[in-house]
Each structure stands twice: as structure tokens, then as C-alpha cells.
């Protein structure tokens, strides 16, 4: 917290958060790829469509930044890991 006497001498500039289009670009170009790689999932194993990203942004990530968006993408990948593992295990038995 900034003390009031110091705050009175400063100019405060309010910055707006990201708009939906900016969040979409950040998610598609950076968050989705880095999160997938961190979870050890290959791009051909899970597809996150633009419609899915848009639904996440509009319905689950209402904050100004993208931290919660990254957490939601991580949650999607964590929930897919057991399915991917079972499919890989079944395919390797054939």
C-alpha cells in the first residue's frame, strides 16, 4: 500500500484490462501451447478450438488479465491426461 501523502503527490494512471480479442490471441498464441507442453501433451492428442477458448474467456475468465484463463486451460489438460494415457495404453496393446 502506498502512503496517502506520497499518493497525493503522484499521478495515478488507470489501465484497462485486456479485451476479449486480446485474450483470445494471447491464449491461442502463447498460453495454450506452453500449457500443453508443460503438461506433456502433444498437439495431436488434444485440440482446443477457438470456440472453446472463446467460451472459456466469456464464461469463466472475467478478470482483466489472463491468469485465470491459463488456470482454466491447465484444468482442461489435466482432465484429459487420464483419457490420453488410457488411449495410448490400449493402442499399444493392439
List domains and CATH numbers for the chain. 18-93 (1.10.8.60)
- Residue-level pLDDT at 86: 62
> Which residues of the chain have a pLDDT value below 50?
none
> Is the whole model's pTM more than 0.85, yes or no?
no
Q: Which three cell numbers stand for residue 57?
A: 474467456
SS3 43: coil
Exposure string of 64-81, with b = 16+ CB inside 10 Å and e = fewer, is: eebeebbebbeebbeebe
Q: How far apart are the first and last CA of the chain?
A: 62
Amino acid at each position: 500500500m502506498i502512503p496517502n501523502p506520497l499518493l497525493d503527490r503522484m499521478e495515478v494512471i488507470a489501465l484497462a484490462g485486456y479485451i476479449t480479442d486480446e485474450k483470445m490471441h494471447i491464449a491461442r498464441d502463447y498460453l495454450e501451447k506452453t500449457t500443453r507442453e508443460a503438461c506433456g501433451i502433444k498437439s495431436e492428442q488434444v485440440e482446443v478450438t477457438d470456440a472453446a477458448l472463446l467460451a472459456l474467456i466469456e464464461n469463466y475468465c472475467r478478470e482483466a488479465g489472463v491468469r485465470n484463463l491459463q488456470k482454466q486451460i491447465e484444468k482442461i489438460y489435466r482432465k484429459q491426461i487420464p483419457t490420453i494415457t488410457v488411449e495410448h495404453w490400449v493402442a499399444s496393446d493392439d
